[in-house]
Homo-oligomer: A and B are copies of this chain.
Amino acid sequence: MLTAARTAFAEKGFDGATIRGIAGAAGVDPALVHHYFGTKDALFLAAVEAPADPGTLLPEILDGDPARLGEGIVRVFLRLWDGPLQPAGLALVRSAVANEWSARLLAEFLATRVLRRVVATLEVPAAEREARGALVASQLVGLVMARYVLRLEPLASADAATLVGAIGPTLQRYLTGELPLGTPHT
């Protein structure tokens, strides 16, 4: 079932994939997929081997002051990555770099399950939302690479507060600042 789910999510995206279709490809009854995984969201988390559920983490980030959203994202992100999420997170990055299908699956996961939910709360033109979310992802994935993969000093051993202060404003600008995204502000 997970193999069929990975293929379907990578090929059709989260929105296009259906529990019925995945069950059909796996040769099982849709009720069995529902029984094991519950929702399509939970099945996607399992297929990606996501080390954390954005559905439970994002409310904490999004409930704060919108003007400090960037700092809040870096703070929660570092709490996870400096903590128990790191091994599974690195495994996910390694697999995405080594394998195009894993990359597509991780990109789809970030786009539809994480970034879309963050930018949905912003008072910015809808046409800009995906670009803003992707820019945020680029800085966060780069932080993972520099701090945990390349272990570039002094970033690798910097404390969380320093990184929140240095990188938070970058994310804040990507989320709510003026950006040349080719769409007129409305």
Of A15-23, A35-43, A174-182, the one with at least 4 CB within 8 A of chain B: A174-182
A-to-B contact residues, CB < 8 Å: 93-94, 96-98, 103-104, 106-107, 110-111, 130-131, 134-135, 137-143, 145-147, 149-155, 158, 161-162, 165-167, 169-170, 173-174, 179-182
Do A134 and B152 touch across chains, with their CB atoms under 8 A apart? yes
Cβ-defined partner of A110 (8 Å) among B106, B107, B134, B152: B152
C-alpha spacing A36/B63, complex, angstroms: 61
Chain B residues with CB under 8 A of A169:
173
Q: What residue in chain B is nearest A171 (Cβ atoms)?
A: B170
CA A103 to CA B165, docked complex, whole Å:
26
- Shortest beta-carbon distance from A130 to chain B in Å: 6
CB distance from A44 to the nearest CB of B (A): 16
- A46 CB to nearest B CB, Å: 20
Do A141 and B130 form a contact, CB below 8 Å, given A152-B111, A180-B162?
no
Assess the B134–A153 pair: CB atoms within 8 A: yes
- Copy number in the complex reads 2
State how many angstroms separate the Cβ of A182 from the closest Cβ of chain B.
6
The answer to whether B134 and A103 touch across the interface, beta carbons within 8 angstroms, is no
* B-side contacts of A161, CB under 8 Å: 180
CA distance A110 to B145 in the complex (A): 13
Contacts of A97 in B (CB 8 A): 93-94, 97-98, 145, 149
The answer to whether A131 and B154 have CB atoms under 8 Å apart is yes
Report which of B103, B111, B137, B155 forms a contact with A138, defined as CB distance below 8 A: B155
Partner of A143, one of B110, B131, B138, B149: B138
Q: Which residues of the other chain, B, contact A134 by a CB distance below 8 angstroms?
A: 146, 152-155
Q: List 10 A-B contacts (CB under 8 A).
A: A97-B149, A131-B158, A134-B152, A135-B155, A137-B146, A138-B167, A141-B145, A142-B142, A166-B179, A170-B170
